[in-house]
Structure 1
Amino acid sequence: MLSELTRRTYGHDPIQILSNGTVLVDYGPMYMLISAFENGKSLIHLAEEGAHLAIQGLEDLAKFLSVLKKKSQELEIEGEFPDVVRRMIEATKKMEEPDLTPLAAVAGTTSDVVADFIFSKGGTKIIVDNGGDIAIRLREGEVARVGVKTEIDARHPTFLISIDSSMGIGGVATSGLGGRSFTKGIASAATVLSETASLADAAATVIGNFTNIEDPSIMKSLAEKIYPDTDIAGEWVTIKVGKLSQEKIGEALDNGLSKAHSICQKGLIKGALIALKEKAVWTESLNSCLMRL
């Protein structure tokens, strides 16, 4: 159970049950929605257990923050690392990007840990949405539909993706300008589907970064000037994108799509959609499950 200190610190119980049976975790930087079902019946008690696990995971992460801020390619997985830390390192190392840290997969990995726990207890449909980085677990016959926004801060989705248990998709994650994390690119959204939310989160970060182009209308800053405690000190990140020519928009989208195809070919992701300035491109692998609203 949550400690009295936690309640006093945040002024409210960080775990709440919403009217539709979804469990909300509002704890520090975490805003997570947990939905769990067994053949259509809501499993609120398991969702609540998952919520406690999410908070524990966040506290575990805090203890290993100095490790998580190092470049993933320089790290070795050690026995003392908790599960959530190990998964973050594993996912980001697979991207083989020299500047990536495990924190590139933090939200998706936390979603995975919670979803896997509930799934192991017998749920048939679990959706864990951690600020837009979503873990999905489906047993045979279950279907999930996920809205995809072409701008991270848009009120409504532009596309809908239908996912069933046969597709091997367990995670959907989005990165881009205006999100919770920094990006080196200019995409308004880079959404990735993968076997896990951890891999999807890491890949979305990479693909979003690869939409970078040179143009006078793009404003950049060193990451540490915006957030001194950042894990990517010394890196230039995008803070604003002005008016771009159609040629420049196409160049940025092509850069991102090329990287998405490369990661797809390695078997790390199932597909990706990249959006910028009301234009969107995606890998052919999404044609069968993607619908414009």
Structure 2
Amino acid sequence: MKRKKTVNDSIQFLSDGSVWVDYGPMRIWIRVWEGDRTLIPLAKEGAQLAISVLEDLARFLHVIKRKSLELKGKKSFPEVVQRMVEATQKMGEADLTPLAAVAGAVSDMVADFIFARGGSKIIVDNGGDIAIRLRENEVAKVGIKTEIEAPKPAYLLSIDSTMNIGGVATSGLGGRSFTKGIAQAATVVAETASLADAAATTIGNFTNIEDSNILRLPAEKIYPDTDLKGEWVTVEVGELSQEKIGEALRAGLSKADLLVQKGLIKGALVSVQGKVGWTDSMNSWLTVL
């Protein structure tokens, strides 16, 4: 008889001192440093928390699949659900559900849990939605891709402890979630990973133009149990004119600029069929690789 997989089976210790969690739909990489040393026990504690957080989410699936702006009484929800609801409500978009911030919220929960217990630098990467916590004088470098499925990043984002950046998240075609837009990648940096995740989804959705070479379907036709029933999502994008590419890119960046002005995000980079743009706030943070 096949042995049932346990929580301990889901946590792997890697040779670089990081911890990998493979549990249900969740794939999380966690690494904790104190100066030059890696703190494996703290990373393990974070991994165990990630699994318990996922179980909280499963119990509240009926809540997190509803439209965020319709949800009241957040204090009765588990903390991870509260974070998801708050982040998505701040976007002000009627079509968002809390699931638009799920990966970032889980990353934040794990990173904050570890940070309260030690470590000078913590990185929690939940499928590309990353929480970063830095104490004084620490620096983190994050690769940014212009296509979600690209083998290598095209830019390097440098973050230090003075920048108040705690999250980097990416949405777009080829990602784990549906998008209404045509961006290959919409990457956001924000104070938290929850906000970055919600904003990346929002900005990606705003790269939404009409063209006969764009195939869209109702979300439930692709995944019957989706939280986006009745919403049309992008399935495939063929070759577009430079004019159409520019239109989509401008729409995404315009939304990103608005979110920066509102103080909800620190900056964003958007990529559409080889054309890349970013908010002015990113100018000094990015290095071309």
Question: TM-score with structure 1 length normalisation?
Answer: 0.96
Pick from 4, 16, 28 the counterpart of residue 20 of structure 1: 16
What secondary structure, in the 3-state scheme, does the structure 2 residue paired with 1:47 have? Answer: helix
Pick from 102, 108, 112 the counterpart of residue 106 of structure 1: 102
Pick from 29, 42, 55 the counterpart of residue 59 of structure 1: 55
Equivalent position amino acid for 2:94 in 1: P
State whether structure 2 residue 116 is matched by structure 1 residue 126.
Answer: no
Give the Cα separation in 2 of the matches to 1:68 and 1:153.
Answer: 27
What secondary structure, in the 3-state scheme, does the structure 1 residue paired with 2:4 have? Answer: helix
State whether structure 2 residue 36 is matched by structure 1 residue 47.
Answer: no
State whether structure 2 residue 252 is matched by structure 1 residue 269.
Answer: no
CA shift digits 1:124-183 (9 cap, x unpaired): 100000000000000011000000000001110000000000001000000000000000
Give the Cα separation in 1 of the matches to 2:206 and 2:249.
Answer: 9
Give the Cα separation in 1 of the matches to 2:36 and 2:69.
Answer: 42
Pick from 5, 8, 13 the counterpart of residue 4 of structure 2: 8
State whether structure 2 residue 249 is matched by structure 1 residue 253.
Answer: yes
Question: TM-score with structure 2 length normalisation?
Answer: 0.98
Give 1:9 shift: 3.8
Give 1:74 shift: 0.6
Equivalent position amino acid for 2:38 in 1: S
Give the Cα separation in 2 of the matches to 1:154 and 1:11.
Answer: 32
Residue 241 of structure 1 corresponds to 237
Give the Cα separation in 1 of the matches to 2:25 and 2:280.
Answer: 35
Equivalent position amino acid for 1:159 in 2: Y
What secondary structure, in the 3-state scheme, does the structure 2 residue paired with 1:186 have? Answer: coil
Alpha carbons of structure 1 residues 11 and 193: separation in structure 2 relative to 1, 3 Å: closer
State whether structure 2 residue 261 is matched by structure 1 residue 284.
Answer: no
Give the Cα separation in 1 of the matches to 2:162 and 2:76.
Answer: 35
- Say whether the 8 Å CA contact 1:25–1:51 is kept in structure 2: yes
State whether structure 2 residue 217 is matched by structure 1 residue 221.
Answer: yes
Equivalent position amino acid for 1:92 in 2: T
What secondary structure, in the 3-state scheme, does the structure 2 residue paired with 1:8 have? Answer: coil
Give 1:11 shift: 10
Pick from 73, 76, 97 the counterpart of residue 93 of structure 2: 97
CA shift digits 1:42-101 (9 cap, x unpaired): 010000000000000001000000000111001013433111011100111111101100
- Say whether the 8 Å CA contact 2:172–2:182 is kept in structure 1: yes
Residue 198 of structure 1 corresponds to 194
Equivalent position amino acid for 2:254 in 1: S
- % identical aligned pairs: 68
Runs of 4+ more than 4 Å apart: none
Give 1:39 shift: 1.4
What secondary structure, in the 3-state scheme, does the structure 1 residue paired with 2:277 have? Answer: strand
Equivalent position amino acid for 1:122 in 2: G
State whether structure 2 residue 183 is matched by structure 1 residue 167.
Answer: no
Alpha carbons of structure 1 residues 286 and 57: separation in structure 2 relative to 1, 3 Å: same
CA shift digits 1:101-120 (9 cap, x unpaired): 00000000000000001110
Equivalent position amino acid for 1:20 in 2: D
Structure 2: unaligned runs, 5 residues or longer: none
Task: Tell me whether 240-249 or 72-81 shows the greater mean CA deviation.
Answer: 72-81
Equivalent position amino acid for 2:232 in 1: W
